[in-house]
Amino acid sequence: MHDGAQDGDLGTILAVFAHPDDEAYLAGGLMAVAADAGRRVMCVTATKGELGFPDDDPRSIEERAALRVAEMQACLDVLGVTQHVWLDYPDSGCAAVDDEEAIDRLGVLVEEVRPDTVLTFGPDGQTYHDDHIAVSRWTTKAVRRSGADITLLYSVMTPEWLTALSAYVPVEHVMMTDDPPPTTPEDQLALWYVCDDELAARKVRALRAQASQVEGLVSMAGLEAYTRLTRDEMFRAPTEDDWPD
């Protein structure tokens, strides 16, 4: 397992995700630890998540996007992450984006940041979301094309974590298809970082800054259970079968 499994030291981090709140759920603790230690952290978000609202929400698409932007900034402020890039692609529209354009944009960021570690989704997007899958593909190819010595890690769920989640949320509500949720056994994790109590509380504060997205689950599960569910950050290494050229 990666050395950072205990102390969270992944060197310089480039975190690439699809929607606001992905980054906090999947890597908020790791990014906060890095920022606190003075290591460079750049977070990249592909879309503004403007469709992440109930159909009867009275706000316009522009107002929804503005709210997500403000919530994202408040979240990153709690985590101590000061470098953030929006790719400004449409929510639920990443599959239609030209791959080469997106890969080139991420390639420029890889060259600029020179990360030791890149965090993103795996090829299944973790929930089979098309935006997540596209982001994984772009990020993987940008890292490969850089030719640099970079540790690429894919965010995953273990079977045990998924079972814990299902006690509060029907799993089918977070999956984008009827396929069984993708999971990775604990013994196949490359990195399993567990936030201590102080960091877990900070991570929850950061997540709750994105209130339009998380307060429903906090109310449903209760704060104690929600904190337990968000404490672990789990990643696997790519395999030869991931995005073959």
Q: What is the pLDDT of residues 211-238, one digit of tens each?
A: 999 999 999 999 999 999 999 999 999 9
The pLDDT score that the predictor gives to residue 65 is 97
CB neighbour list of residue 80: distance below 8 Å, 6 or more residues apart: 31, 32, 35, 36
188 contacts 162 by C-beta, under 8 angstroms: no
The pLDDT score that the predictor gives to residue 162 is 95
CATH number at residue 121: 3.40.50.10320
Q: What is the pLDDT of residues 34-72, one digit of tens each?
A: 999 999 999 999 999 999 999 899 999 999 999 999 999
Q: Is 242 within the bounds of a domain?
A: no
Q: Is 31 within the bounds of a domain?
A: yes
Q: Is 87 within the bounds of a domain?
A: yes
Q: Is 216 within the bounds of a domain?
A: yes
Name the more confident of 1 and 200.
200
In angstroms, the CA 131 to CA 95 distance is 6
C-alpha 131 chain-centroid distance: 12
Residue ranges making up the domain that contains 104? 6-236
Q: Is 1 within the bounds of a domain?
A: no
Q: Is 245 within the bounds of a domain?
A: no
How many domains would you assign to the chain?
Answer: 1
Q: Is 241 within the bounds of a domain?
A: no
How far lies 29's CA from each of 34, 90, 100, 201, in Å? Answer: 9, 27, 31, 10
Strands 232-236 and 191-194: antiparallel
Of 83, 80, 2, give the one whose Cα is nearest residue 37.
80
Count of beta carbons in the 10 Å neighbourhood of residue 76? 25
Q: What is the mean pLDDT of the chain?
A: 95
C-alpha 52 chain-centroid distance: 15
Place 177 in a pLDDT band, splitting at 50, 70 and 90: confident
Q: Is 135 within the bounds of a domain?
A: yes
